[in-house]
Amino acid sequence: MDAMTTLGPQDDAQTAYFSVRDIHAYYGESYIVQGVSFDINEGDIVALLGRNGAGKTSTLRTLARAADPELKGGEILLGDVKVHQLRDFQASAHGIQFVQEDRRIIPGLTVEENLVLAQIAKPIGWPIEKIYEHFPRLAERRKQEGVTLSGGEQQMLAVARALARDIKLLLLDEPYEGLAPVIVQEIEKIVRQIKDLGITTIIVEQNAVAALELADRALILDMGQIVYDGTARSVMENAELRNQYLAI
């Protein structure tokens, strides 16, 4: 199996919606993200895959400009915005919304208060009533404290809170973690609705098959480096690739 497979269209940096150029990131002295580069077209869903410890979440956190890992080289561009020069709250203000694995629901606040709080800082995204149209279960529970929701409902709230902000790129870290299969299907439905609205999404997910069924494209990481860049369908059809890098 060749170390890297690429597709032509997203290699054109002039037309890419989101471009990552040779980024390097560290946790202290640990070199975690090792020269990652890729382009994403607007409206695509991209599955960022790999075995445990491959660097998936670290890459996502770097793209979101989280406090760690520390970016020590490379460029991250959303249109003409130099995301690599920003902090996390600035990246969010420019439309990069990061839904972390632990969901970060604020204790003591209702569902609606969590959404209202997300819109305190401008620019804002979807009006809350529009969010409720797409998340009717949240509408039913708008007065319930967010941390008392089920795991699936908390995941819905975390995604809805991202949509309440100005959104150009959605980063999802392990959205199916700990959820029953029927709830996973609901989250998948929501992500497909987001795609239909033209919102670009990168999804990190241990359930590689579920992520690939959802995605247009796949990036596979191994030891902090991209070893595959191609269509999601190609990964599903390539047993050797899946066995080598995904163990599926």
- CATH number of the structural domain spanning residue 195: 3.40.50.300
- What is d(CA 113, CA 130) in angstroms, rounded to the nearest whole number? 15
Token pair listed for 142:
């708008």
Token pair listed for 51:
């075995």
In a domain, 212, yes or no: yes
Percent of the chain with pLDDT over 70: 94
In a domain, 35, yes or no: no
Lowest mean pLDDT among 83-92, 160-169, 179-188: 179-188
- pLDDT value of position 189: 87
In a domain, 109, yes or no: yes
In a domain, 8, yes or no: no
In a domain, 77, yes or no: no
Predicted TM-score (pTM) of the model is 0.90
In a domain, 15, yes or no: no
Mean pLDDT computed over 139-143: 97
Q: How many domains does the chain have?
A: 1
- pLDDT value of position 168: 95
Q: Phi and psi of 124, rounded to 5°? A: -95, 165
- pLDDT value of position 129: 96
Mean pLDDT computed over 81-102: 96
The rounded mean pLDDT for the chain is 92
Token pair listed for 174:
């392990």
Longest dimension (CA), the chain: 53
Containing structural domain, residue 152:
42-66+88-245
pLDDT level of residue 248 (50, 70, 90 thresholds): confident
The rounded Cα 190 to chain-centroid distance in angstroms is 14
- What is d(CA 65, CA 60) in angstroms, rounded to the nearest whole number? 9
The answer on pLDDT for 8 being more than 70 is: no
Q: Which residue has the tokens 């990964």?
A: 235
